[in-house]
Structure 1
Amino acid sequence: MFVAFHELPATARVWIYQASRPLTDAELTAVQPALQQFSEAWTSHGRTLRASAEFRYRQFLVIGLDEAVADASGCSIDASVRFVRELEAALGLTLLAKEELAFLAPDGQVQLVPRRELKQAVLAGRLQPDSPYFDNTIAQRAALETAWPAPAATTWLARYFAGN
């Protein structure tokens, strides 16, 4: 069952998929029905799931699930990954790759930094401890709303700023 994302409880589980580029206005409009249809049809062992899906910052697909209603099973998670792969093909972008880290630039745009260049970006001062980082490993809607993005030094990236 589709619900608006803000109607999911703070404890709702979330999965975040980072796009390799920002979506255009036309793409965001075109993909909206598919997001709602996926959320409406998503099931776990035949049980309807209370779910939502939306894009944030034009670059992050966020799927949310109210696990108080029903948990996602292995098969339902597989179904969500199939849906993400379909979106990748339809939009001509990557959502499942993990080679790049995302930061919120001062101009409000998402800045992608290849993992292999992270240390250099910190040493060069392009990334600071307070640089807003999109930690896509967060798992609950509450963290999504309150700590996403978060200052890089408060995330697993803290080790890159130690001693600088």
Structure 2
Amino acid sequence: MLVNHETLQDDARVWVYPSSRKFYPQEVEELNQKLCDFVSNWKADDVNFKASYQFLYNRFIVFLADEDSQLANTDIDAQVAFILQLQQEYEVDLLDKMNVCFKQGEFIQYKDLKEFKKLLKSKSVNDKTIVFDNLIQTKQELENNWEVPITESWYNRFL
């Protein structure tokens, strides 16, 4: 069942899919409808299943599922199949979690790790740069540890 993400507990499971580009304004409404439809039908046969989604910065697709919900491999496979479908339809990359998303002024950049290391070396980004840790696993981590300075993320090893 689709619920408001705010009603899910702090230990709700989270999956973050960063897009290789910002979605265009004309894509946003349609994409939101597809996300809503997917989550609404994700496990429609399970009346106890509670899930939600967020579409953040017109770039990040975030799924949340109540930790008490039993997710089988087939449920995760359905999520990944849906993401693969979106990748193809919108011609974006959503599954490469090793790319780095970070803020540069008001813009969000998406770079591969090698390029990001070069930016650090050239001081184009620094220890105060805000990065997105797309490897988080819970709602609590999404709210508190997703957008952090490099020094508070696993990327700090490259400083």
Output the amino acid matched with 2:62: V
The equivalent of 1:152 in structure 2 is 150
Aligned residues of 1:104 and 1:149 also touching (Cα < 8 A): no
What's the Cα RMSD here? 1.6
Distance 1:142 1:85 in 2: 27
The answer to whether the 8 A contact 2:97-2:135 is kept is: no
Distance 1:146-1:98 versus aligned 2 partners, 3 A rule: closer
Deviations 1:73-112 (A, max 9, x none): 11100000011111112222111124521001222x1112
2: CA distance between counterparts of 1:148 and 1:21?
Answer: 19
Q: Distance in 2 between matches of 1:143 and 1:118?
A: 23
- Please tell me whether the aligned partners of residues 99 and 114 of structure 1 are also in contact (alpha carbons under 8 angstroms): yes
Number of corresponding residues: 158
Structure 2: runs of 5+ lacking an equivalent: none
Equivalent position of 1:114 in the other structure: 112
1:125-154 Cα offsets, whole Å, 9 max, x none, are 112111101010001111111222111111
1:55 equivalenced with 2:55 (yes/no): yes
Q: TM-score, normalised by structure 2?
A: 0.92
Other structure's SS at 1:43 match: coil
- Check whether the contact 1:134–1:148 (CA below 8 A) recurs between aligned residues: yes
2:97–2:134 CA contact under 8 A, matched in 1: no
* Rounded Cα–Cα distance in structure 1 between residues aligned with 2:29 and 2:3: 18
Question: Which deviates more from structure 2 when the two are superposed, residues 151-160 or residues 72-81?
Answer: 151-160
1:81 maps to 80
Q: TM-score, normalised by structure 1?
A: 0.89
Structure 1 gap segments, 5+ residues each: none
Match of 1:138 in 2: 136
